[in-house]
């Protein structure tokens, strides 16, 4: 027995294909009683609407026949408290998303949700009207909430470690593995007292993967010094100076590159006597060694996972969300000495 189609549903119901299609898309142009009859008949027949086909036809009608496979929405969050230093990282993510989407035959449309931008309900309406069913969500500084979207017709991938509202598949950097690799590299370069500088929220939002990797390295490195990490609510030069003088780290790892100047104010000579490693070189404010978290690669991988969901017609909140991690790449720089 062949699978039900729009044509077969329309024939059995005595309706036009356009009416059946509009009813299944929730178009207000269809009488509610007719729409309900169509939905019940489709459910009984086991019909499932192909979201890619819907998006394709919607775009074809707008573009008058140009080659096209679908639209992917890139959703970012407008947050007043988000660090401005993170903007280059987001740009690289978008570049990767856009490039890979284009290679796979999709167009990227960008949306911003938050203060002064789109509300979640407005975004839901736009996605529904335009027939967009695939979303790539950019990292939010605070816990994002897109549970107000109608996920029964959507598929999504979040480009950060964890999202709970709703729980979606995620693609993110492997901070734990990457920091361990960096610490082993520093040991090979002759550093024996690594110190970690973190903003508390930067660690908490990743379920403490930065600090966990640092402590694991300390506990499993024979003969290594155990410098307590400096974890602060807000970066503070005076607090850093006290920690630096008391604990005497010979290399500091952190996101805040201004710490190099603070180290030098305490008498350090970078890189002759001390070193610095930026945990995300896309946030650096000066040339330095660090970790490239590969946001462009993360964006490309997110699109691949999203398109695979759409091709399998997998919409809705996944029962078992998965996390795909990609290790960072080491980036040499002038804040570390040569091997000793």
Segment 42-66, tens digit of pLDDT:
888 877 766 555 555 555 455 444 4
Bridge pairing between strands 230-232 and 169-173? unpaired
Phi, psi at 189, each rounded to 5°: -80, -5
Question: Among candidates 230, 292, 233, 293, which has minimal Cα distance to 262?
Answer: 230
205/207 Cα distance (integer angstroms): 6
325/104 Cα distance (integer angstroms): 22
Q: Is 266 left (phi over 0), alpha (psi -120 to 50) or beta?
A: alpha
Phi, psi at 72, each rounded to 5°: -115, 135
Domain architecture of the chain: domains with CATH: 1-48 (1.10.260.40), 70-174+296-328 (3.40.50.2300), 175-292 (3.40.50.2300)
Q: Please say if the pLDDT value at position 173 is more than 70.
A: yes
- DSSP secondary structure code for residue 339 in this structure: P
pLDDT in tens, 221-240: 887 789 999 999 999 999 99
3-state SS assignment for residue 92:
helix
pLDDT in tens, 77-87: 999 888 888 89
Q: What is the mean pLDDT of residues 154-167?
A: 97
pLDDT in tens, 265-321: 999 999 999 999 999 999 999 999 999 999 999 999 999 999 999 999 999 999 999
3-state SS assignment for residue 67:
coil
Q: What is the mean pLDDT of residues 192-200?
A: 97
């Amino acid at each position: 027995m062949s699978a039900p189609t729009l044509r077969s549903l329309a024939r059995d119901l005595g309706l036009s294909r356009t009416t059946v299609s509009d009813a299944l898309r929730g178009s207000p142009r269809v009488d509610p009683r007719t729409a309900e009859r169509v939905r019940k008949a489709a459910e009984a027949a086991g019909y499932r609407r192909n979201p890619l086909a819907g998006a394709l036809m919607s775009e074809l009608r707008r573009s008058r026949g140009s080659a096209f496979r679908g639209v992917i929405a890139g959703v970012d969050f407008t947050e007043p408290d988000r660090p401005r230093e993170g903007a280059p990282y987001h740009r690289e993510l978008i570049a990767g998303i856009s490039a890979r989407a284009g290679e796979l035959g999709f167009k990227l449309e960008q949306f911003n949700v938050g203060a002064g931008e789109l509300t979640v309900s407005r975004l839901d309406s736009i996605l529904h009207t335009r027939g967009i069913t695939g979303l790539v969500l950019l990292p939010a500084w605070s816990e994002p909430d897109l549970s107000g979207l109608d996920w029964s017709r959507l598929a999504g991938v979040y480009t950060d470690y964890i999202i709970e509202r709703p729980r979606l598949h995620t693609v993110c950097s492997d901070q734990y593995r990457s920091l361990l690799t960096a610490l082993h590299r520093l040991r090979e370069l002759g550093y024996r007292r690594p110190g970690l500088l973190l903003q508390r929220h930067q660690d908490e939002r990743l379920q403490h993967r930065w600090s966990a990797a640092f402590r694991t390295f300390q506990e499993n490195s024979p003969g290594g010094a155990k410098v307590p990490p400096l974890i602060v609510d807000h970066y503070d030069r005076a607090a850093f100076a006290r920690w630096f003088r008391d604990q005497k780290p010979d290399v500091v790892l952190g996101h805040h590159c201004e710490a190099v100047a603070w180290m030098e104010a305490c008498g350090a000579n970078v890189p002759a006597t001390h070193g610095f490693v930026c945990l995300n070189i896309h946030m650096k404010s000066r040339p330095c060694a660090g970790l490239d978290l590969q946001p462009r690669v993360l964006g490309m991988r997110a699109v691949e996972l999203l398109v695979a969901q759409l091709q399998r017609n997998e919409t809705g909140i996944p029962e078992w969300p998965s996390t795909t991690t990609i290790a960072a790449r080491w980036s040499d720089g002038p804040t570390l000495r040569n091997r000793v």
